[in-house]
Amino acid sequence: MWPPRQAPRDYRSAPVSIEPTQRSGLRRFLLSGAGWPYLLVPFIPLAIALDVAGVSPVVIFFASALGVIPTAALMGRATEELAARSGPGIGGLLNVTFGNAPELIIALFALNAGLHEVVKASLIGSVIGNVLLVMGASMFVGGLGRDRQYFNRVSAVAQSSMLLLAVAAMAMPAIFELVEGKGLPSPGSERVSYGSTVEHLSLAVAIVLILSYGAGLIFSLRTHRDLFNPPSEEDEHGEPWSVRRSVGMLALAGVAVGAMSEILVGSISEAASSIGLTEFFVGAIVVAIVGNAAEHWVAVLVARKDKMDLAVNISIGSSAQIALFVAPVLVLCSFFLGPGPMPLVFNGFELGGIFLAVLIATHVTDEGESTWFEGVQLLAVYAVLALAFAFA
């Protein structure tokens, strides 16, 4: 129950490769709100070189984390261009499927490495980051100089409600393990082995969430498309990409994200130990932010332009996709990747954080309007949760 996330026209049509004769245009693009992620492209070969050279894991981790950002931005751009030329049905499906591809790719590499608790932390961190950090920053920046901003209350409440239901389903294996099993994992764990009962329960929950995801696609793309996809009043600027170019760029971005993800995951354990942080904090805060930093920035950018519908759509819609699609897909993949199945058993900090975040999101979006002070409050809650995760 979410709209296909549509990037603003100036973001989607901004050129990535520009002829040398247009250097001034390239400079303006790179310094714009949409172009800044591509300033980080040099970190891609740098991360690869540092990994080959075997330097400090901390340096490799931060270089690869910065390298993920431009690759994720290119993947988002290519997806939007391809979706724009595939019709509303297929285009919407592409948007909601590839919208969180960078996070999914990073999580798959971590899953294959057996870092189950890092994967679960990144899932929770993505939901919390979208709901509190991204929506909070959007409301704060967009509300500066304005009395209040307005957005589609019906669409926002529908997405928030669906997210709350999804989170409730995700929490049930943890509640089951808390009552019937050995209890919740500790924040410092890397992988905890559970019995087959909770593994099968997690698999069943994952199937239910994916079926709910499919129903949400039908609801938002077919039966209630007008509610979730109002006609755009903006004109498209710039030369659109062809289908061939979009597919090529999407494939290139996928390979680059995969390379950066492998290096990032390979350095997490040693880097976290070297800088005195737990893998839990790195997964919930650092990995969750870098996986979709470009899209997060777009939400703040469009909120400043008083387009809160799109900003709320990006923040809550992305969280719903994490809970309804990415999390269950990872559970299914864990039966074939890595050392063993990954049950949806979250630790106490993760459960408390995600329920607080989703309940706050449901309350904030209930009125269909926002102010800069609401943004400050959301950012404050995110800061408190980040501090608690750091001390965990």
- Phi and psi, residue 42, nearest 5°: -55, -20
Q: What share of the chain is helix, strand, coil (3-state, %, to 5)?
A: 75, 0, 25
In this prediction, residue 29 carries a pLDDT of: 57
Q: What is the pLDDT of residues 342-382, one digit of tens each?
A: 999 998 999 999 999 989 888 888 888 889 999 999 999 99
Q: What are the residues facing 149 on neighbouring strands?
A: 370
Domains along the sequence of the chain with CATH: 9-391 (1.20.1420.30)
In this prediction, residue 376 carries a pLDDT of: 93
In this prediction, residue 235 carries a pLDDT of: 40
In this prediction, residue 232 carries a pLDDT of: 46
For 251, the token pair is: 């494939």
**Is the Cβ–Cβ distance between 287 and 264 less than 8 Å?**
yes
Low-confidence ranges of the chain (pLDDT < 50): 1, 3-4, 6-18, 231-237
Q: What is the pLDDT of residues 260-273, one digit of tens each?
A: 888 888 888 888 88
In this prediction, residue 93 carries a pLDDT of: 59
**Is the Cβ–Cβ distance between 293 and 108 less than 8 Å?**
no
Amino acid identity, position 32: S
Enumerate residues 6+ apart whose C-beta is below 8 A from 257: 68, 71, 72, 75, 101, 102, 105, 106
Structure pTM? 0.82
* DSSP H/E element including 328: helix 327-333
